[in-house]
Amino acid sequence: MTGETSGHGRSQNQDQDGRGLVGGRYRLVRRLGTGGMAMVWLAYDEELASEVALKEIAVPEPGLSWHAGGDGGLDREMAARVARARAEARNAARLRSHPHVATVYDVVRHDGLPWIVMEYVPGATDADALVRAGGTMSSSDTARIGVAILDALVSGHRLGILHRDVKPANILLAPGTSDAPRTSDAPRTSDAPPRTSDAPADGAGAGFERVLLTDYGISLRPSSGDPRLTAAGGVIGTPGYLSPERARGGEPTEAGDLFSLGATLYRLVEGEGPFARDSDLSTLTALLFEDPPPPRRASVPLATAMLGLLEKDPERRMTVPEAERLLRDAVSAGSAELSGSAGAEGGGFGHHGGFGHQGTLDLSNRPMAAPTAPSPLVPPPAGATPHRRRRARAYQFVIAATAVVTAVAGAVWGGAALGNGIGDDDSPSGSASESSDSRSYRPYRNNTTLDQELVPGECVNAVWKNPKKPYTGEVQMWPADCRVSSPAGQVIAVEPVADPESLSETEARHTCEERTAELRKTLAAPVAYPMLPSADGSTLACLVFQRGTDEIYGPLGEFRTAGERLAVTNAGTGDCFNVDGRNQWILTTCDKPHAQQAIGWAKAPAGMSYDEFLEANPRLCQRKYEQAWVRGTPREIVGWYTGDADRWNGGFRFLMCALKDANDSKKLPGGSAEPVDG
């Protein structure tokens, strides 16, 4: 959907990719962008002689996490991608008349797969790319984008459509034209002067008039009866922009979209997301357990709106009318400064590169679509009114404080004061959700998200409260599909506990180490972790994770079945397997002839780099096992490793050492191989 126009010099039935006309009428011109799930092409409509954008579903590549379930896992992943494409087309089409939703024209089938035909927007840039290239945006332009996206979300919510993946990369910003339709027929007010392309430009983002919300691929209509689209652990979205309740496995809601909008605006004006960290795992940890840093660049009304939308408790999260009012205040404040001076907006919180003070977005007066009954997207709970009154008082306080401090030392302190005043409601009236949680069924002491006891064989994803000390302390955990997703760990055993409150952590850990000992002997870097029962619970759950990696790829030990694909992180010594044409390991029984047998692990020496580690394969394995396993036999030692540098950087630095016949065309005979000397 992005890019520039181009000529069309190819013959009638020929396209850029050599695949013929898509749907019998669309000729591919060039690729506009590629993501993990789809590719977007600029295409030429032969019938209407016009340019369109085509979204093509990307076929899953072999060797990725969904292959833990064998060919069935691949089929399920492909089916999920097709379902996303159809959902995107249906839901975006229902919003096609909205000025801030990318228009979907049609869905055509080509080679058995759906292609989405969309509006082509010349010169469009996604907001994330714009910030990366040009720096942060001004508060007023960030607020204008916020008004537009909020309007699009509310319109979708009125139709029962949840977006579920609001983030800067899903917001397109494009230049307008002199005859472009206005975003609203409502008259402009004196406090919001028009922004036109004739206004002086400043910054990499100047000159954009259109704001479009894209990618409804994982959107959901809860009442539609459509199958729900899921990812690892049943949670789908983008770390850092996902709402905390969704990260814990809760149901998607309108309030979750509002949280994602708050995180998105924070990224645009501050330069990085409120929970941005070095890895997805640490980002999710921050999302769940940490408050966003007080905004430093945002104007007071924009900062207030962002922090209100980033409230972790969805019942206390800022409502649409509050957010709209504050965002419009931020737009008006920037516009007033434009008419009064060329100085920085917000007393020093303004432009730091990006959209600039005098951009061209014309959203200041578009009336927000009123939600249908019940009117708030998040119905106000009992006791919520005092919280909102407190937020308003904090806003007024910071305005006064900022005015004073600006005269003395600039407005930086104002941002810090704002952070101290919003969302810190310590009054009894603000604790309704906490008392509600305390009445909920929570079977484990060290986890507040699971509401059912775990069972043997169940896989989980986990986010540790202290990512520097994983496998200890509190953890946020939710069930994961062992074979379709790529889980972090697995429940190996469950022990009934007569008196849960008397069970100590030391005793629980000792029990779990005993119950998982045989499995752990076969793995590279296993760690046993106990889920201690609470007063509500009745069982101790013993899980196994692998140190240095946040995924085990698939089930472990006896929970696997012949025919499943393996990875370094869920394979174990004694495993017999075949290797297919794509270099994938296929678990088989050792009773039958097989290509290889895992015999142990070789750890990289201290100080070895990742490249040196790859070059040292299979020598590390041969040095450790060749004398005992190969001497005087027609066998040889090979080494397998993970091709994931992130896993290496996380501390998982092992070669899986395997035995095979020296003749590649032969298999090992049936039965488990033994060392030469027995």
Q: In angstroms, what CA-CA distances link 565 with 2, 463, 484, 588?
A: 38, 26, 11, 10
Q: Is 3 helix (H, G, I), strand (E, B) or coil?
A: coil
The three-state DSSP-derived secondary structure of 586-641 is EEECCCCCECEEEEEEEECCCCCCHHHHHHCCCHHHHHHHHHHHCCCCCEEEEEEC
Distance between CA atoms of residues 478 and 247, nearest Å: 9
**By CB neighbour count within 10 A (0-12 exposed, 13-18 middle, 19+ buried), where does 413 fall?**
middle
Q: At 313, is the secondary structure helix, strand, or coil?
A: coil
What is the C-alpha separation between 261 and 149, in angstroms, rounded? 8
User: How far is it, in rounded angstroms, from Cα 148 to Cα 195?
Assistant: 15
468/360 Cα distance (integer angstroms): 45
Closest CA to 365 of 195, 218, 593, 574: 195
Residue 94 φ/ψ, nearest 5 degrees: -70, -20
Cβ contact 52:26 at 8 Å: yes
3-class state of residue 220 by DSSP: strand
Q: Which two tokens stand for residue 294?
A: 């007080």
Ramachandran sector of residue 148 (left: φ over 0; alpha: ψ -120 to 50; beta: rest): alpha
Strands (E), 239-352: none
Q: Quick one: DSSP state of residue 367?
A: P
Residue 55 labeled ligand binder: yes
Rounded CA-CA distance 324/199 in Å is 25
Count the Cβ atoms, other than its own, within 10 Å of residue 37: 17
DSSP letter for each residue of 315-326: TTSPPHHHHHHH
**Tokens at residue 222, please?**
């809860």
Residue 260 main-chain phi, psi, to 5 deg: -60, -35
Prior bond to 555 cis, omega within 30?
Answer: no
User: Among all chains, which residue has been given the structure tokens 């039935």?
Assistant: 13
Rounded distance between C-alpha atoms, residue 669 and residue 75, angstroms:
32
Positive or negative: CA dihedral 49, 50, 51, 53:
negative
Helix and strand tally (H, E) in the chain? 16, 19
Cα 227 from Cα 218, distance rounded (Å): 11
- Are 433 and 250 in contact, with CB atoms under 8 Å apart? no
- Residue 40's SS3 state is strand
What is the chain's Cα-based Rg?
28
Question: What CA–CA distance (Å, rounded) separates 638 from 655?
Answer: 9
The Cα 447–Cα 479 span in angstroms is 13
Binding positions are 55
Binding positions for ATP are 55
